[in-house]
Structure 1
Amino acid sequence: MGVIVLIEPAERAPKYDSKSWVISGLRAVHAAKADPEVPDSPADRTLCGLATVGMEKHSYRPQDPGASWYPPNLTPWECKACSQALRQG
């Protein structure tokens, strides 16, 4: 399954450089399936069930089998429910 990494900003801030979470902080890193009609876009909900509207797509893509689904530098913000859904997947 292709996973799209999404950032849930801590606050809804204006997009100064298309990465508002850099300015406002981030609440969590989520995973979503790709939209079947637009494969480079996320589905309507994350794997933990949150709406993807208002979240920002991250460019990270795992390069190796077994690599983390999210950027390793964002480990403190990993959504545990998304990780569990991927493991059960």
Structure 2
Amino acid sequence: MGVIVMVEPQTEHAPDLEAKSWVTGGLRAVHAALTDPDTPEDPADLTLCGKPTASMEKHSYHPQGPGATWYPPNLTPWQCTTCTQALRRS
């Protein structure tokens, strides 16, 4: 299974998949979700830290090779450390 980067927008901003609302509205955190076993291009229902992915936006980032972070480097301040720890344990 692969990992999909999920963006959690600020509470007051509803996700807008087409317009990338988190770019203009702010983001709360960047999470990791496993791919859905039945639909690999979609995330599983929960992130690795247990949050529902339905209220989040899928990010287009994919790690470019060994040693690359699971999240976009420019979003480092918002990475979910619980998701990072879960990935390290797996």
TM-score band, normalised by the shorter chain? over 0.9
1:15 lines up with 2:5 in the alignment:
no
TM value normalised by structure 1:
0.93
Q: Find the counterpart in structure 2 of residue 72 from structure 1.
A: 73
TM value normalised by structure 2:
0.92
Q: Find the counterpart in structure 1 of residue 5 from structure 2.
A: 5
**Once the two structures are superposed, what CA deviation does each residue of 1:23-56 show, in whole Å capped at 9, x if it has no partner?**
2100000000000010000000000000001100
Residues 38-77 of structure 1: pairs in structure 2 closer than 5 A: 38-77=39-78
For 1:13 and 1:65, the matched residues in 2 are separated by 34
CA gap 1:67/1:55 in 2 versus in 1, 3 angstroms: same
Shift of 1:84: 0.1
For 1:39 and 1:19, the matched residues in 2 are separated by 21
The percentage of aligned residue pairs carrying the same residue is: 66
1:37 lines up with 2:38 in the alignment:
yes
For 2:17 and 2:35, the matched residues in 1 are separated by 26
CA RMSD of aligned residues (A): 1.5
